[in-house]
Amino acid sequence: MLQTYFDTDLLNRPGSRLEIATPALVLDLDALEANIAAMAAWAKRAGIALRPHAKTHKCAAIGHLQMQAGALGLCCAKLEEAEVLAVAGFRFLLTAPVVGARRIDRLMALTERCVEIMVAVDDAANVEALATATEAAGCDLGVLIDVDVGQRRTGVTSVEAALALAKRIARAPRLTLRGVQGYAGHVQHIAGYDDRRRASHESLATLAAVRDRLEAAGHPCPIVTGGGTGSHALDPAAGVLTELQVGSYIVSDVEYDAVDLTGDGSRRFHNALFVQATVVSAQHPGFATIDAGSKSLAMDGPAPVVAYGAPQGTAYECSGDEFGRLTLPKGSKPLPPGSVVGLVVPHCDPTINCFDWYHCVRGDALVDFWPVDARGCSA
């Protein structure tokens, strides 16, 4: 199968980008590299570290580019992502609690394969289980107390709960409190820059209050982690976070294109990710059916936007699991079967998770295939 899908004879041939078997996830390496460099440069200016989220790209090759640009390590949302990416030698922070005996067994096994692995905790029974498991396995584990800063997803909801966890962690010979985490997921897509700043700083004040009480009680918190692409330019000024868990900035998407990330309307990050598709039927005037539907484009966000191959103003509409309808602006030339179009992905993370491979391009040439190593690895 792979022989037919991966037309390796296309590699490095001018124009070969348009001959890729579709639907395909196309990664523009120039834009990707520019985005990684722009975030690294910005973080340096702002005096904050980066621990980018691998849940977005699930790809060792991209993780290495982030590390080369100075990242401290990578975040993972799920244990299985770290299990897969561990072979690449990264330091990991698992940003959600690892719950249950079988998962904790896997975490213990993973600690031996990683330079560093830290995990977020928010529950007393879970900390108890980690204390017992690390002692039994003879493994050291760094933990961060996860604080709910308003997203209402994970994290302790009171200073008292955080203090109780810190005390138990301090008594566990194999656990070390490394700091606190507060991810303001609810803030990232607030469209207005000032509204987003207000919401971000409110969340960070909650996090700072927990950190201060922990430190006052003798539990140092060298790491204060959180933030995301949406709030990356606003968070550092609050002086709370030591590092940012940015994810989507590497490729951007239609959702983030609608968010003013810099406060002056300028773009720091470019669209580096496209779903490339082909017209398979064009029997009606004014529209064409392409070979990308809900199995190739996550449909939880806005509609994808045409980036190339069709006139500006062309509208995409899902037409089933395998197909989409492109409605052309009035007066456009028809798009005959075989026409190739590129769509900016609506929401990068779950769209990437539809595909096993990135088709890497520079300009109009296909130059490489990168695996989405941890695709589907959500357990």
Site for its own copies in 69-108 (CB under 8 A): 77-78, 80, 83-84, 96-97, 99-100, 102-103, 106
User: Using the rule CB under 8 A, which residue among 192, 311, 320, 329 binds its own copies?
Assistant: 320
Cα 145 to Cα 119: distance, rounded to the nearest angstrom: 9
Residue (48 or 96) nearer to its own copies, CB: 96
Does residue 38 touch its own copies according to CB under 8 A? no
Binders of its own copies among residues 132 to 161 (CB under 8 A) are: 148, 152-157, 161
Does residue 354 touch its own copies according to CB under 8 A? yes
Residue (44 or 153) nearer to its own copies, CB: 153
Q: Say whether the peptide bond before residue 23 is cis (omega within 30 degrees of 0).
A: yes
User: CB 110 → its own copies: shortest distance, Å?
Assistant: 8
Does residue 238 touch its own copies according to CB under 8 A? no
User: Using the rule CB under 8 A, which residue among 218, 222, 331, 338 binds its own copies?
Assistant: 338
User: CB 71 → its own copies: shortest distance, Å?
Assistant: 20
Does residue 65 touch its own copies according to CB under 8 A? no
Q: Which stretch binds its own copies (CB under 8 A): 35-43, 65-73, 170-178, 275-283?
A: 275-283
Does residue 336 touch its own copies according to CB under 8 A? yes
User: CB 348 → its own copies: shortest distance, Å?
Assistant: 10
Cα 199 to Cα 168: distance, rounded to the nearest angstrom: 32
User: Using the rule CB under 8 A, which residue among 14, 218, 266, 283 binds its own copies?
Assistant: 283
Residue (49 or 108) nearer to its own copies, CB: 108
Binders of its own copies among residues 172 to 231 (CB under 8 A) are: 185
Measured CA to CA in angstroms, residue 332 lies from 288, 326, 343 at distances of 12, 12, 18
Residue (220 or 286) nearer to its own copies, CB: 286
CA atoms within 13 A on the CB side of 119: 26
User: CB 347 → its own copies: shortest distance, Å?
Assistant: 8
User: CB 44 → its own copies: shortest distance, Å?
Assistant: 28
User: Using the rule CB under 8 A, which residue among 272, 296, 326, 360 binds its own copies?
Assistant: 296
Residue (32 or 372) nearer to its own copies, CB: 372
Does residue 125 touch its own copies according to CB under 8 A? yes
Binders of its own copies among residues 40 to 59 (CB under 8 A) are: 55
Residue (262 or 295) nearer to its own copies, CB: 295
Q: Burial of 162 by CB count in 10 Å (0-12 exposed, 13-18 middle, 19+ buried)?
A: buried
Does residue 122 touch its own copies according to CB under 8 A? yes
User: CB 136 → its own copies: shortest distance, Å?
Assistant: 18
